[in-house]
A and B are shown apart, each in its own frame.
Chain A
Amino acid sequence: MKHNLILRVIAKYLFPVIALFAFYVQFHGDYGPGGGFQAGVILSVAFIFYALVFGLDTAEQVLPHNVLRILASTGVVIYAGTGVVTMFMGGNFLDYDLLALNPVEGQHIGMMLIELGVGITVSAIMLMIFFAFAGREKS
């Protein structure tokens, strides 16, 4: 699809819109439907769309395997790390109340952090799986 002008132009315009929607879903999940998981999937869809139009190699230059691998584990570390931090602050694992002076505020920070972790891991893993399947030559 490398020579398809219309697709290339549309893809350039749609990529930021899809990514922006992903971030909206990520950070608006407290009020509307959605959250880290859905946001991660939508963000990875933006990159998959990019890869489909501009070719796998171009997409892999944007997001190399090493970066994806680090991102995938970073998400889990952020999630579990939030739990460990609350343990060090004298509470239970994932006891967000202690993250701020006010329990409700602490809950808010905690949820934001773990949703971020979920989003990062999900989008990185989805992209890794896509690259793994699409990068394989037909034998």
Chain B
Amino acid sequence: MDTITLAGELSAKLAAMREAGFSQVMLKANDVVGHPGGLDAAVRLVRASGLRVTGFQVLRDFEGLSGHLHDYKVDIAKGMLEMAHALGAPLLLVCSSTSQHASTDLDAIARDLRKLAMLAVPRGIKIAYEGLSWGRTINEFTTAWDVVQRADVPNLGLGFDSYHALATKTALEGLELVDPAKIFLVQLADFMWQEIRTVEERISTARTFRVFPGEGVHSAQVAELVQRLAAMGYRGDYSFEVFNDDYQQLPLPLVAQRARRSAEWLGEQVLRRAVPLPGRMRLRR
């Protein structure tokens, strides 16, 4: 599960996840940067937790810039890659740019992503590029996939977030054009509104009121998505990208238990698999 869902400091988050039976953690930069003992202590904590690090998030507004803005973002990216490397994170999540300063030229975007992927090679990190539903140029997984293909570099793939796909009502049939081996991460979340009408509402819901899969009104679509991914051969990791202001003020074990129920629902009812849920999210108890 993602640290972003839980309140408090890193050690408490890791303990709650482990206690609820999760074997992986998706880390956010401020969990480790804001750790009271500093970055090195946070790294030790993560490595001692026994949880496998799914990935590290999130690099924003990277692509499409030029001149000093581009140079600045390259520095930021390098800082994040170094943190991810220290944490043993095999993947860095990158959200599509929302910046009005960024180019809308898909080839320019692809070129920058290609450069980012090259920066990541010596650090042993893959880049998962995700289309934010309020991204300026790239706001659907279909266009995100387009630029990933244009960039054409082995360690750059797609980050797929169910929330954004559902919010923009992008037809899931579009997944048929995606190479399952190039989906590097699938983030799942549900939400409570039947429909999201404006971009502002999309942003505020995404940031404050997502719920775990099965808790919202789009359970059937999330289930369809997961089944579709499994059928097309996706065997990578899933994580719960659930930003929720209510969950931020509840005890960690309570929230982690809700996540666990959601994982059980996905593993046992949706996928109904004898094999563990892809990404070994099978619960121990």
On whether the two chains bind one another, the answer is: no
By a beta-carbon cutoff of 8 Å, the part of chain A in contact with chain B is none
By a beta-carbon cutoff of 8 Å, the part of chain B in contact with chain A is none
